[in-house]
Structure 1
């Protein structure tokens, strides 16, 4: 049985994204939210990025400069599937994985995951960019699955996307020789004028093509906005740049079988500069808590 309708699959390829309900079970969602709550509590005791390091030695947890013990601003958890059974289970075996497989083919592998968290009043913003510019592969059958950990509406910093932009060029994330991690100001202005928000209930997922332009504003509400973001690729899409967030599960086949050949898509690909800090927010000009001390 298929998970997505033909209408949903057509909408994804037409628009470059699709919001679908019930991407995880209520039990899975509750387990994910419980882990988040525990990590937020842990963050109260820290004034700089912390936690068991990722496999490239960076801190697991990152906070914004506004973070305090009284008002935490935990904003990133790197590769939670490496340290959490609940997050590993969803990464491997949730309805959202089946949805992705129906979009890019039956043979599917995992690339990396992260949590982007905007706690109430958080100042975190995401400048407009395309994921493919961070994680170029030999082809672009790549889907970023953004699982809603909270109800998301117009008040709490929803993801905004530019429909159809996945059919256009991959825009540069450089200003001259400096890697900014975001498109140029004039391109962002155009993107903002064309963008639409992605709203939904907790447990929904936004399936986003890797070339789709997207960003998000700060959370000005008293409600949390969390996303569990998993990147999946067709098995025959092979990375041509180092993973910005290497994982012990990188390359793991989650549906189907391994590919015997790499599939190549013609064209030039600008190679990114990978962040060395706890999260890419520092690349786009939003310092971690420690940088302000």
Structure 2
């Protein structure tokens, strides 16, 4: 199912705040993961009242001119590992956890998981820092693994990062009226680096790293499964991420 894991350039990760890695997922497994993403999207849409706390809708994040035809399109599902043995097995596969463990220098456990869909016409994710906008109640000893299920490039909204923006663990202010987006005055977009990757490839990044993804202007999806990990010695520190519909 998995090719051999690759070596991890930990020093480069510490310097840049992110690191890309070759695919550790076979083509057959990747096809199964795409089908599973479709299954979860259909399940949550069909039972949207039950799964309402897991669903984020595209229309809530698109400007008026981009909302047409997007009224029933799901942007994100979170969590999914409890609904999907296939994604849960992937989250705990040694070929991924050992690479994250190499960054920490110790064994890891799963902190959070989500499925970002970014279907054609899908909304941007503005410049933000994950820890600052989402996780202050927990540890900042976190590494996120972002695995593309489809080829990602500039046309369908691949991730963009600002290398080194994590250094010193800065807590940047939000744009007025937002609790998510960093104030543009603190983002030097001239330093932004797009990170296009093939399906199955990964990017690991620091919770303070500034990152962004644009509108999907293509006719193809840019689905990604996202796992965030913490040192296992901290215990189960984010079990409350599971919604009330968990069964």
Does residue 13 in structure 1 map to residue 35 in structure 2?
no
* Residue 78 (structure 1) aligns with: 78
CA, structure 1 residues 206+143, in 2 after alignment: closer, same or farther (shift >3 Å)? same
* Residue 160 (structure 1) aligns with: 160
8 Å contact kept, 1:67–1:73: no
Shift of 1:45: 5.8
Q: CA offsets per residue over residues 220-261 of structure 1, 9 Å max, x none?
A: 01111011111101234579xx9597038xxxxxxxxxxxxx
* Residue 221 (structure 1) aligns with: 218
Shift of 1:44: 6.8
Q: How many residues are aligned here?
A: 232
CA, structure 1 residues 212+37, in 2 after alignment: closer, same or farther (shift >3 Å)? same
Shift of 1:91: 0.9
The gaps in structure 2 that reach 5 residues or longer are: 60-66
Q: SS of 1:183's equivalent? A: coil
Q: SS of 2:218's equivalent? A: coil
Distance 1:172 1:106 in 2: 29
Shift of 1:212: 0.8
Shift of 1:96: 1.8
5 Å matches for 1:1-293? 3-5=5-7, 8-41=9-42, 50=48, 52-53=50-51, 58-65=52-59, 66=67, 68=69, 73-122=73-122, 124-133=123-132, 134-136=134-136, 140-174=140-174, 180-188=179-187, 190=188, 192-237=189-234, 246-247=241-242
Shift of 1:15: 0.8
Q: Normalised by the size of structure 1, how large is the TM-score?
A: 0.70
The gaps in structure 1 that reach 5 residues or longer are: 249-293
Distance 2:135 2:193 in 1: 24
Shift of 1:203: 0.7
